[in-house]
Amino acid sequence: MTLFEPVGKMPEPSAPEGFVPCQSEDPVARQLLRPLFNDGRETLLLAGFDAYQRLVRLERVESDTAARCVIPPRCWRAFLGGGIAGVIMAHNHPSGAAWPSDADIRTTHDAALFLRTLDIDLIDHLIFIADGHFSFRTAQMM
């Protein structure tokens, strides 16, 4: 039996659905959200935008541990009555895995349902790692 070496390089695998590399991030992700994350512990950001897509409110929640972040009710209350039409949820995964956990998926769906009752749109939920971020909207999970 003869083994043949492949000719040329094997093509790079395409990025999994929903992953956005750093160089392709939009200005909101790259310039507003990414600089606010601490790589050592999980942090949650809630960015509220008005009907003209202007940033109205930005809430930041640091986790108690490196692995989990809970959205306190005071954060949601801050978005009530402030003219907010849409919210972007974003958090980081210090582990480096951009893919959502079961808890991330549940939280996203619960937040979308809650915000919908307030006539506020959950625009996206982003999970940041060093190389880029995962977008629930891009992955069509919203």
Quick one: pLDDT at residue 112?
94
Predicted confidence band of residue 142 (pLDDT cuts 50, 70, 90): confident
- 12 vs 108: CA distance, rounded Å: 31
Q: For the whole model, what pTM was predicted?
A: 0.83
Residue 19 belongs to a domain? no
Predicted confidence band of residue 13 (pLDDT cuts 50, 70, 90): very low
Residue 79 belongs to a domain? yes
Residue 14 belongs to a domain? no
Task: For residue 44, give its domain range.
Answer: 24-135
Residue 80 belongs to a domain? yes
Q: Which residue has the higher pLDDT, 6 or 30?
A: 30
Average pLDDT over residues 8-17: 56
How do residues 87-108 score in pLDDT, each as one tens digit?
Answer: 999 999 988 999 999 989 999 9
Please report, for the domain that includes residue 102, its CATH number.
Answer: 3.40.140.10
Residue 16 belongs to a domain? no
Residue 140 belongs to a domain? no
Average pLDDT over residues 24-45: 90
Residue 117 belongs to a domain? yes
Residue 120 belongs to a domain? yes
Quick one: pLDDT at residue 66?
47
- From residue 36, alpha-carbon distances to 73, 115, 116, 118 in Å are 21, 23, 27, 27
Question: In whole numbers, what is the pLDDT of the chain averaged over residues?
Answer: 85
- From residue 122, alpha-carbon distances to 11, 16, 23, 64, 90 in Å are 36, 22, 24, 25, 11
How do residues 41-92 score in pLDDT, each as one tens digit?
Answer: 888 999 999 999 999 999 998 766 545 567 888 888 888 877 999 999 999 9
> Is 28's pLDDT higher than 90?
yes
- Number of domains into which the chain is organized: 1
